[in-house]
Every structure is written in structure tokens, then in C-alpha cells.
Amino acid sequence: MLIIAGWLRVEPDARDRYLQECRQVVTLARAAPGCLDFSLSADLLDPARINVYERWAGDEQLHAFRGSGPDAGQIRAAEVLKYRISATGPP
């Protein structure tokens, strides 16, 4: 299992528009084979930040879906990393 997590930074006045443009991407991702969860959300404290959380069954499914997002030219900075998970359980 893979977790993709991190943040994107856009212009504060463009964040809501960017997230609206991502609605279709989220819908498609959640329906994609191997997608276990997919979420993009506005940060509660930073008006320029978008939080990223994805959970995928494996690399093959993740790579098959990549490249379907809105124009990346709106992104000013980003830190999104892939985490390989070997086990899960309740907190």
C-alpha cells in the first residue's frame, strides 16, 4: 500500500478555484482501480495551502492514474511524498 501526502501552495485568491477544478479529478481518482482514498482540502490556517492525501493499493495503479490534474502552472510550491506502508492497524 502507498500513501501520498503533503501540501501544495497556490496564490491565496486562487485556492478555491483550484480546488473546484480538482473536483472531477477527485471523482475519477476515487473510482480508479486501486485507489483506496483520495482527498485535496483547503488548509484551515494557511490561505495558500492545499493538503494532499491519497492512498493506493500499489505503484501500478498510482502511475496509471497520474497526470490527470488541472494545470500545474498554478502551483507555486509543493512538498508531496510517497510512503510505502507494510502494515496497518487501529490507532
Closest CA to 61 of 41, 32, 18, 28: 32
DSSP 14: G
Q: What is the pLDDT of residues 11-64, one digit of tens each?
A: 999 999 999 999 999 999 999 999 999 999 999 999 999 999 999 999 999 999
Model confidence pTM above 0.85: yes
The CATH code of the domain at 2-84 is 3.30.70.100
Closest CA to 62 of 1, 10, 21, 6: 1
**Quick one: which H or E segment has residue 78?**
strand 77-84
